[in-house]
Amino acid sequence: PIPVILDVDTGFDDALALLLALRAPQLEVLGITCVVGNQRLPQVVTNTLKILDVAEAPEIPVAAGMTLPLLEPLRMPMLLHGRDGMADLGLPPSSRRPVEVHAVEFLRQALAAASRPVTLIALAPLTNIAVFLRMYPELHSRVGQLMIMGGTYAAAGNTTPLAEFNIRHDPEAAAVVLASGLPIRLYTLDVFRRVAIRRKEIEQFIAQPDPVAQVAGRILRHSCDYFRSDRALIGDAGAVAAVIEPEGVQGEQLPITVELGGTISRGQTAVDRRPPESRARLREWCEPAPAEVDVIHTVDAARYRALF
Ligand code: BDR
Ligand code: CA
């Protein structure tokens, strides 16, 4: 199996992503790092531990990380995720505890100890990952791939008209990570919005005896109810699917910059979609040249729905 570490802000769709990763025989979850985002950090950790219980997971280390973005102020938790950030399911408290070390230190230890390069799956603001990359450049080569849910290719934003939440929550961290030169795949909002489960299927999940299916179903039902929709997105779980079955998505290696100025545009991922000739001809207008990452713009939604 592929060794992975998930960085999360659980988060109802982070919960779906964790359940998928924990159940996927193709992945070996080495650990989970938590960061402020959808909820304040203590609640993110609590939610994550509860999800490990639901999955009856073995002792997988969970590390608490950054409690604030690098520059931005702390913001109110996102209401759509419920008061507890995870659909208010009333899951019982967990007796699991997070590890003693900070998430950034956990990443250092885990990557240094791994026998092969590790895939990082970042489903939250990139604060933990940015601090880790800045502190331990000697460990960059231990990251086999960095799959990030974040940003947009051509779609509108979801937090501002132009910016996606994970990037907008900590634009400076995103800028550090996207410019790092690591092998990054960006699972953008364009594809995030495409993979959904219908209410009828959701009710079938809930009717199953398997607690993982039930909890996934109840989270999805919360989303249907909140948005008054007959379908619910699997959200962050799509980025996990893109690690399990990479053939289900398509992207392009493209220059990308995180807008750090602006008001409305702050946190936008400006993807250079111009033809390469005009990009080259007008190079002086984009100095210094932005880093390139694999920006995912197309997804086989039916395939990922079936996988999920
Ligand atoms: C991202 O923001 C969060 O609310 C979700 O968990 C997802 O990671 C989507 O913009
Ligand atoms: Ca998330």
For residue 81, which atom of ligand 1 is closest to its CA? 4
Q: Percent of the chain scored above 90 by pLDDT?
A: 90
> In this predicted model, what pLDDT tens digit does every residue of 127-139 receive, in sequence order?
999 999 999 999 9
Average pLDDT score, the chain: 96
Residues whose CB is less than 8 angstroms from the CB of residue 228 and which lie 6 or more positions away in sequence, other chains included? none
Please tell me the distance between residue 43's alpha carbon and the centre of ligand 1 in angstroms: 16
Higher pLDDT, 86 or 271: 271
* Strand partners of residue 298: 250
Does ligand 1 have an atom closer than 6 angstroms to the CB of 39?
no
Question: With bands split at pLDDT 50, 70 and 90, how would you rate the model's confidence at 222?
Answer: very high
| CB neighbour burial string for 251-271, b if at least 16 within 10 angstroms, e if fewer | beebbbbbbeeeeeebbbbbb
> In this predicted model, what pLDDT tens digit does every residue of 227-259 receive, in sequence order?
999 999 999 999 999 999 999 999 999 999 999
Counting ligand 1 atoms within 8 A of each CB, the residue from 18, 149, 167, 187 with the most, and so the one to mutate, is 149
Judge whether 211 and 165 are in contact, CB under 8 Å. no
| CB neighbour burial string for 118-148, b if at least 16 within 10 angstroms, e if fewer | bbbbbbbbbbbbbbbbeebeebeebbbbbbb
> In this predicted model, what pLDDT tens digit does every residue of 16-72 receive, in sequence order?
999 999 999 999 999 999 999 999 999 999 999 999 999 999 999 999 999 999 999
Res 173 pLDDT > 80: yes
Does ligand 1 have an atom closer than 6 angstroms to the CB of 38?
yes
Please tell me the distance between residue 75's alpha carbon and the centre of ligand 2 in angstroms: 15
Residue 135: the pLDDT is: 98
Please tell me the distance between residue 19's alpha carbon and the centre of ligand 2 in angstroms: 13
Question: With bands split at pLDDT 50, 70 and 90, how would you rate the model's confidence at 78?
Answer: confident
Judge whether 289 and 255 are in contact, CB under 8 Å. yes
Strands 118-122 and 143-149: parallel
Does ligand 1 have an atom closer than 6 angstroms to the CB of 259?
no
Mean pLDDT of 66-81: 88
Res 81 pLDDT > 80: no
CA-CA distance, 127 to 136, in Å (whole number)? 14
- Nearest ligand to the C-alpha atom of residue 9: 2
Q: Whose CA is nearest to atom 10 of ligand 1?
A: 165
Does ligand 1 have an atom closer than 6 angstroms to the CB of 251?
no
CB neighbour class for 2 (10 Å; exposed up to 12, middle 13-18, buried from 19): middle
Question: With bands split at pLDDT 50, 70 and 90, how would you rate the model's confidence at 289?
Answer: confident
Please tell me the distance between residue 86's alpha carbon and the centre of ligand 2 in angstroms: 11
Please tell me the distance between residue 177's alpha carbon and the centre of ligand 2 in angstroms: 17
Please tell me the distance between residue 148's alpha carbon and the centre of ligand 1 in angstroms: 11
pTM of the model: 0.97
- Nearest ligand to the C-alpha atom of residue 149: 1
CA diameter of the chain: 61
Residue 285: the pLDDT is: 86
Neighbours of ion ligand 2 (CB under 5 A): 9, 11, 14, 123-124, 236
Residue 77: the pLDDT is: 75
Question: With bands split at pLDDT 50, 70 and 90, how would you rate the model's confidence at 125?
Answer: very high
Other residues' Cβ atoms within 10 Å of the Cβ of residue 281: 11
